[in-house]
Amino acid sequence: MELRAENMIVTLANTDIVNDISIRVKNNQFVGLIGPNGCGKSTLLKSIYKVIKSREGSIHLGDLDVLNSEPRSVSRIMGVVGQFNDLSFDFTVEEMVLMGRTPHKKFMERDTEEDHKIVTSALEQVSLNGYEDRSYLTLSGGEKQRVILARAIAQQPSFLVMDEPTNHLDIKYQLQILSIVKQMNIGTLAALHDLELAAEYCDYLYVMKQGKLVSQGTPKELLTSQLIGEVYDVSCEIYTNPVTGGLGIAYLPLL
């Protein structure tokens, strides 16, 4: 499913946090959103998944006018893996993932055998089978993040939005989460911090700085030492990783 966000302007406390940004995610494309802390990545994503209202702009997901639709219709096709997933009350892992079925449930409809199958297979996909009865709050950060991803998978979305999904995860789970998402083969928009991972997994990148879109393109053509220098204010060298053949970035220490 294709996402088109056009001329988005988000204003919080009289400051334009997102300033006239247009983004397009084509069918089954994995698109990354990169940029330094505070550049407006999260705010843009939140305006896309309707937690923050944008001042101007339009968003279409397939035929659906996202900004003028009920959250329920949006949640049937768009899954979200957000940044903060702390709870004040505990749930079991199974209950957490089962909540991904909420958008598809009619009033008073009970959980069916089909729902439980979907939950089981979602947990298998994130290798958390056997965790059904564990309590969510006792899990490690990486396990929690995988539960949230499993919940989004159980939602059976045609489009996925992720806000720094690999934060606080060790390298194995960073790779695992991004691989799982890549295998889902649906349109994905993800804010990412790690540029090498972004280069590895993303088909296309948008670069933001101070609320504005600075540049866009495929990782190969976009990630140059000049652009990284401009956007992140660091010096680096770009090379081809001799082992993986992928893009490597050597950051030079700040003086």
Partner 1 sequence: MKTQSHITTGYHKKGRGQHRTFVLLILFLIVFIVFSIGCSVSIGQVSISLSDTFRILLYKGSGMRIGSLEGISQASFADIIWHIRMPRALMSMLIGAGLSLCGVVIQASVQNPLADPYILGISSGGALGATFAIMLGFSIPGVLGQMGVAVWAFAGAFGAALLVLTIAGVKGKVTSVKLVLAGMVINALCNSFSNFIVYFANNSESIKTVTFWTMGSIASATWDKLPLVAVSIGAASIFFLTQSRVLNTMLLGSEAAVTLGISLNRNLRIFMLISALVTGIIVASCGTIGFVGLIIPHIIRGVMGSDHKKLVPISILFGSVFLIWADILARTLIHQSELPIGIITSMIGAPMFMYMLMKKGYGFGGR
Q: Which spans of this chain sit near partner 1 (rule: CB under 8 A)?
A: 46, 49-51, 70-76, 78-80, 82, 84-92, 95, 99-100, 102-103, 105, 107-108, 113, 116-117, 120-121, 124, 129, 132, 137-138, 155
What is the closest distance, in whole angstroms, from the C-beta atom of residue 49 to partner 1 in the complex?
Answer: 5
Q: Which is closer to partner 1, CB of 93 or CB of 231?
A: 93
Nearer to partner 1, 68 or 88 (CB): 88
Select 79 or 219, whichever has its Cβ closest to partner 1. 79
Give the helix/strand (H/E) hosting 147.
Answer: helix 141-154
**Neighbouring residues of 193: CB distance < 8 A, sequence distance ≥ 6:** 34, 164, 166, 167
Whole-angstrom distance, CA of residue 234 vs CA of residue 229: 5
Q: With both helix axes pointing from N to C terminus, report the angle between 141-154 and 113-125 in degrees, rounded to the nearest 10.
A: 140
How many angstroms separate the CA atoms of 171 and 169, rounded? 6
Which residue is listed with tokens 């919940």? 151
Nearest approach in angstroms of CB 108 to partner 1 is 6
* Residue 209 contacts residue 231 (beta carbons within 8 Å): yes
Residue placing its CB nearer to partner 1 in the complex, 113 or 254: 113
Distance (Å, whole) CA 81 – CA 169: 14
Query: Residues near 15 by Cβ (< 8 Å), separated by ≥ 6?
Result: none
Instruction: Report in angstroms how near the CB of residue 116 gets to partner 1 at its nearest.
Output: 6
Residue 120 or 225: the one with the smaller Cβ distance to partner 1 is 120
The CB-of-76 to partner 1 minimum distance in angstroms stands at: 7
Q: Which is nearer to partner 1, 132 or 196 (CB)?
A: 132
> Minimal distance in Å, beta carbon 136 to partner 1?
9
Phi, psi for 37 (deg, rounded to 5): -55, 140
Q: How far is the CB of 103 from partner 1 (least distance, A)?
A: 4
